Structure 1
Amino acid sequence: MKKFQAQPGFVVQAYRFALDPNAGQEAALRSHCGAARAAYNWAVGWVEASWWQRRAEESYGIAEEDLTPWRPWSLPSLRKAFNEAKHTDPRFCGWWEENSKEAYSTGLANAAAAFDNYAKSKRGKRKGRAVGMPRFKSKRKARLACRFTTGTIRVEAGGRHVTLPRLGPVRVHEPTVKLLTHVQAGTARILSATVRHERGRWFVSFQTEVKRDLVRVARPDIAVGIDLGIKTLAVMADSSGEIREVANPRHLSAALVELRRASRLVSRRRGPDKRTGQKPSRRWEKANAARNRVHHRVANLREDALHKLTSAVAAEYGTVVVEDLNVTGMVKNRRLARHIADAGFGEIRRQLGYKAKRNGCRTVAANRWFPSSKTCSGCGVVKAKLPLHIRTFECDACGLVIERDANAALNLAALAAAAATGTAVGGDLDTGKVSKPRGVDQKTRTTLPSCKAGQRRAGGATLPHQRQQETRDRTQTEALTLW
């Protein structure tokens, strides 16, 4: 095996494989993941104990300088405190030596990250929703996961086994040829390995540093606009005028009959009850496992279909234009929430974002308020209203009649030229700053056909639709965001 040398052109990439552990190895995997959870709970309790102690002392009027000092939550501090407590703490005595030290380090690192997120959110330095104090992880609900960063971590030469610290060689369900080829050629180095139990199986993910050569797309000069929907998953229109449709497989809808039958069977068994402390029966656990298998199969089918779609798009076109959809707001529609979640709009955009970089493909996101469906792809006139149930676009100005989604895809494809040259395309955008969350105060304005050059009002004033036409060049580039 050639020696690995860090050189320009290396990227960090993950390789995930399904495992087929035997009974002893599965018990060891669960023990390591349980150790990570126990270390996390210990760290949360150890740090928060000083918080509650200070609050109690403050209630008695103790001065600030006499209060119990704050306990640090940095990873080195947690490791030092845990190494001192594991020998005497009854929660770890007698069994902590059975697992790798990496299992406890995983829990401590997760606790340190949780406290950092809480502190940053409290100070307003973290974007997104407010993050609360870290809470203890339940034994029944916590996700089984453990990360290894040191020790023996390798892919065996046969391609059917991986070696992990304290676990030894574990058989994989699928060959590891893709990663093994890079490792043997000296073009990859394994940085860490994470084992996780999800969808009823054990998986191992190797974080690697791999040398990746840029693979050019098949049609670098062609831009494609992708309009996502429920009836048709994706309508793709490229700059050459070709329009293609990708049918929505509707994996969840196809499995609803089987899922309802499995759920009905679960409801007729004696399940767990937190209020009374009732334990689930064996028949409930079997029925629940059968229902979970249906959910897992649907998730696997959806993931496979989306990966095939995004890989094909990122390998063919030089520029991909998609919409910045408000998926969080869309799923609040109780009639369409299930279908929107089943389609996976957000996952399509996420996958296109990182797959396009591999092939030198440029990805452009249209502004959320760009009226792609209301704009005529022929003359650029924008309709004031276009209800969702109207599936055919009819232009009142030029008489163009086209399918609604195909018209939107053509408008999105035209945005690629605007992003590159700054020229105007059909559609009028309001690019002012949003004063309300999610831009709910923005409305699409109607753009009238532009008049001939030089046509002015008395006194040299421009007409309203002329002013809109003149500002379109300036606002178009601002309405686009490059990923």
Structure 2
Amino acid sequence: MAFRERLSVVQAYRFALDLTARQERVVLAHAGAARVAHNWALARVKAVMDQRAAERTYGIDEAGLTPTQGWSLPALRRAWNQAKSDVAPWWAECSKEAFNTGLDALENWSDSRTGKRAGRRVGFPRFKSRRRSTPSVRFTTGAIRVEPDRRHVVLPRLGRLKLHESARKLARRLEAGTARIVSATVRRDGGRWYVSFTCAVQRTQGMPACPDATVGVDLGVTHLAVLSTGEVEPNPRHLDAAARRMRRLARRAARRVGPDRRTGRRASKRWERASARLGRAHARVAHLRRDGLHKLTTRLTREYGTLVVEDLNVAGMLANRRLARRIADAGFAELRRQLAYKTGWNGGRLVVADRWYPSSKTCSGCGAVKTKLALSDRTYTCTTCGLVLDRDVNAARNLAALAATVAGSGPETRNGRGADRKTPLAGPVAVKRQPGTATAGKTGTVPPQGRTSNHELTYAS
């Protein structure tokens, strides 16, 4: 039996909590402490920046300016320790991790600006409101563990908290020594409290059921995903299904006496209950959407060795007011994010086609490219070879054929048609198939979609 490679990944395990009234008050106090520390640090940094800018207008040289306030967590922590007795005389009632949670958020903007933080640029931090901000607190040190009964967790200063569900998946890894808890975050989402454990996990490298098979995935609104094999994944449209109830809950909340910041009016209890019901309805839609995407991406990455998707301009698509709600409900970005890391877990490869690759306009039979193709044309008809095929299936087949022109074995490979504008390519450039180059006896150049035999698969012993 062949041994598979072990991967070191960072994985989060999220569990719902069943807190008592006293425990909820303690957690809210810690989240409030994080918010106070964040607002204090942001005000201090902005005051120093404004002071230095004013001093420059007075003609003071750089050496004589007010000393800068560092954005790093150690620098902010030193400043907080000097001022916490005056700013928060109650600081001893909360864990130090609560204040670190608020101070650490400011470092993200500094790291993003200097290039230390990967991903999209982080905007300049804002002050957090008690009513509008999401209560959250993170623990990185102290007693963080899962109890042997797998129904309780222990966190610093919060003590023993009951879980709404079993933590057996995480407990098994902790007992086997293949996972180590790095941090734990308690957060309120949709009226319910959750705890998320960020863990360093040793995962066994998986292998797809069809390691040599390639599938193109065309995302859309009518159907969530259309595969090059002809399989259609329907769009559940969870938001549309819950729209009627959410409208009724929103009208009910609008009739209640809500808060007014201008007059200092506080919200009524009836408004708070109505708003909580509306929040739970939104959370339910988000949970259903996330669950469906996880099931779809897990099935695809465990079955196919290579998946090809498009680099969709979701932000531009949301500008279409007629389709924005349905596009946002589909969750294209979340689907691609899950495919990216799950292909690495399961030993597959994700190829991302360039944003300007004409997958819908290209004939999957002969390679001819139409000049125009209206969105209302749901059937693709090729005037060169006479191919008549569903528009989405044709696009998915073109995406699958594109994978054959890309070299590389990484979990995510970027690909394109050689466009020289707008979208920079981070990987090898694919040459677009010319018309009339279809292989004899095959439909276009789509790789075979069949399964491999069982004796070709290797399993970890």
TM-score range, shorter chain: 0.7 to 0.9
Distance 2:284 2:54 in 1: 51
Gap change, CA 1:22 and 1:128, over 3 Å in 2: closer
Gap change, CA 1:230 and 1:380, over 3 Å in 2: same
- How far residue 51 of structure 1 moved from its aligned partner, in angstroms, is 2.2
- How far residue 201 of structure 1 moved from its aligned partner, in angstroms, is 1.2
Gap change, CA 1:255 and 1:35, over 3 Å in 2: same
Distance 2:378 2:418 in 1: 27
- How far residue 337 of structure 1 moved from its aligned partner, in angstroms, is 0.4
Distance 1:131 1:211 in 2: 34
Q: 1:402 aligns with which of 389, 397, 401?
A: 389
Distance 1:430 1:220 in 2: 25
- How far residue 367 of structure 1 moved from its aligned partner, in angstroms, is 1.0
**What does 1:389-468 align with in structure 2 at a 5 Å threshold?**
389-420=376-407, 431-434=418-421, 449-450=435-436
Gap change, CA 1:68 and 1:448, over 3 Å in 2: closer
Residues 267-287 of structure 1, C-alpha deviation per residue, up to 9 Å, x if partnerless?
Answer: 222222233333222222221
Q: 1:319 aligns with which of 272, 286, 306?
A: 306
Instruction: Indicate whether 1:180 and 2:171 are aligned.
Output: yes
- How far residue 39 of structure 1 moved from its aligned partner, in angstroms, is 1.0
- How far residue 187 of structure 1 moved from its aligned partner, in angstroms, is 1.9
Instruction: Indicate whether 1:114 and 2:101 are aligned.
Output: no
Gap change, CA 1:125 and 1:340, over 3 Å in 2: closer
Q: 2:96 aligns with which of 97, 101, 107?
A: 101
Name structure 2 gaps, 5 residues minimum. 409-415, 426-431, 438-461
SS in 1 for 2:259: coil
Distance 2:170 2:131 in 1: 34
8 Å contact kept, 1:382–1:447? no
Q: 1:154 aligns with which of 145, 148, 166?
A: 145
Q: Which residue of 1 is the match for residue 345 of structure 2?
A: 358
SS in 1 for 2:217: strand
Instruction: Indicate whether 1:80 and 2:78 are aligned.
Output: yes
Q: Which residue of 1 is the match for residue 208 of structure 2?
A: 217
8 Å contact kept, 2:368–2:436? no
Q: 2:12 aligns with which of 11, 14, 21?
A: 14
**What does 1:29-68 align with in structure 2 at a 5 Å threshold?**
29-68=27-66
8 Å contact kept, 2:34–2:99? yes
Residues 434-454 of structure 1, C-alpha deviation per residue, up to 9 Å, x if partnerless?
Answer: 1x5899xxxxxx998459xxx
| AA matched with 2:146 | V
Q: Which residue of 2 is the match for residue 92 of structure 1?
A: 88
**What does 1:282-361 align with in structure 2 at a 5 Å threshold?**
282-361=269-348
Distance 2:65 2:375 in 1: 62
8 Å contact kept, 1:120–1:126? no
- How far residue 56 of structure 1 moved from its aligned partner, in angstroms, is 3.8
Instruction: Indicate whether 1:206 and 2:197 are aligned.
Output: yes
Larger mean CA deviation between 304-313 and 78-87 belongs to 78-87
**What does 1:257-296 align with in structure 2 at a 5 Å threshold?**
257-296=244-283
Gap change, CA 1:438 and 1:299, over 3 Å in 2: farther
Q: Which residue of 1 is the match for residue 458 of structure 2?
A: none
- How far residue 236 of structure 1 moved from its aligned partner, in angstroms, is 0.8
Distance 1:64 1:186 in 2: 53
- How far residue 85 of structure 1 moved from its aligned partner, in angstroms, is 1.5
Distance 1:106 1:115 in 2: 16
- How far residue 110 of structure 1 moved from its aligned partner, in angstroms, is 1.4
- How far residue 79 of structure 1 moved from its aligned partner, in angstroms, is 1.4
Larger mean CA deviation between 267-276 and 371-380 belongs to 267-276
Identity of aligned residues (%): 54
**What does 1:131-170 align with in structure 2 at a 5 Å threshold?**
131-132=123-124, 134-170=125-161
- How far residue 196 of structure 1 moved from its aligned partner, in angstroms, is 1.1
Distance 2:114 2:53 in 1: 21
Larger mean CA deviation between 347-356 and 71-80 belongs to 71-80
Distance 2:245 2:70 in 1: 51
Residues 52-76 of structure 1, C-alpha deviation per residue, up to 9 Å, x if partnerless?
Answer: 3334444555454333222223221
Q: Which residue of 1 is the match for residue 367 of structure 2?
A: 380
- How far residue 9 of structure 1 moved from its aligned partner, in angstroms, is 3.8
Residues 112-171 of structure 1, C-alpha deviation per residue, up to 9 Å, x if partnerless?
Answer: 333444x539xx999856833x33211111221111111000011101000000111101
Distance 1:210 1:21 in 2: 28
Distance 2:29 2:178 in 1: 34
Count of aligned pairs: 421
Gap change, CA 1:116 and 1:380, over 3 Å in 2: closer
Gap change, CA 1:385 and 1:288, over 3 Å in 2: same
Distance 1:406 1:437 in 2: 25
8 Å contact kept, 1:15–1:205? yes
Residues 178-203 of structure 1, C-alpha deviation per residue, up to 9 Å, x if partnerless?
Answer: 11011112222111111111121111
- How far residue 383 of structure 1 moved from its aligned partner, in angstroms, is 1.0
Q: Which residue of 2 is the match for residue 192 of structure 1?
A: 183
Q: Which has the higher contact order (CA 8 A, sep 6+)?
A: 2
8 Å contact kept, 2:140–2:182? yes
8 Å contact kept, 2:355–2:423? no
Point out the structure with max Rg over C-alpha. 1
Distance 1:319 1:63 in 2: 60
| AA matched with 2:31 | C
8 Å contact kept, 1:224–1:236? yes
Gap change, CA 1:385 and 1:311, over 3 Å in 2: same
Gap change, CA 1:303 and 1:328, over 3 Å in 2: same
Gap change, CA 1:45 and 1:115, over 3 Å in 2: farther
Gap change, CA 1:54 and 1:215, over 3 Å in 2: closer
SS in 2 for 1:192: strand
SS in 2 for 1:384: coil
Gap change, CA 1:448 and 1:51, over 3 Å in 2: closer
8 Å contact kept, 2:95–2:156? yes
TM-score under structure 2 length normalisation: 0.85
